[in-house]
Amino acid sequence: MTTPDDRRYTEQHEWVLLQPGGGEGSVVRVGITDHAQDALGDIVFVQLPEVGAEVAPGAPMGEVESTKSVSDVYAPVAGVVAAVNEALTDAPETINADPYGAGWLVEITVAGDGGDPTAELMDAAAYQALVEAG
């Protein structure tokens, strides 16, 4: 299992990556971790929020369905959905093949002064420790 150092993680097994760029607020890309996709098995369907939907930290914002189960995806930050990965509609298995790349789920715009909205989340070492303890 890989846990890239360039992003933050939640206890619900989502990863969050601050996107480059300026403007009003920050944009974060969200996906599920390698551990999560491995635990789920073959992903067959993804339900994602609409662009423009408001999300709150810890609140469900979509679902990932595998041959084994259905799992909620939780918003790691508060904000507005700016983009969804439309490619997953036709190829949800992309999450299994590339959870940290092409298998991203949504991008969320976080209002604010340009600080890091993901600073409160776990770093890679803390997430790895959570997975190993669980």
- List pLDDT tens digits, range 2-13: 899 999 999 999
pLDDT category of residue 112 using cuts at 50, 70 and 90: confident
- Using one digit for the tens of pLDDT, what is the confidence trace for 116-125? 889 999 999 9
Quick one: pLDDT at residue 111? 87
**pLDDT (mean) for 103-107:** 98
Please provide the average confidence, as pLDDT, over all residues in the chain. Answer: 94
Q: Is the pLDDT of residue 35 over 80?
A: yes
Tokens of 78: 């508060």
Statement: residue 24 has pLDDT above 80: no
pTM score, two decimals? 0.94
The residue ranking higher by pLDDT, 51 or 134, is 51
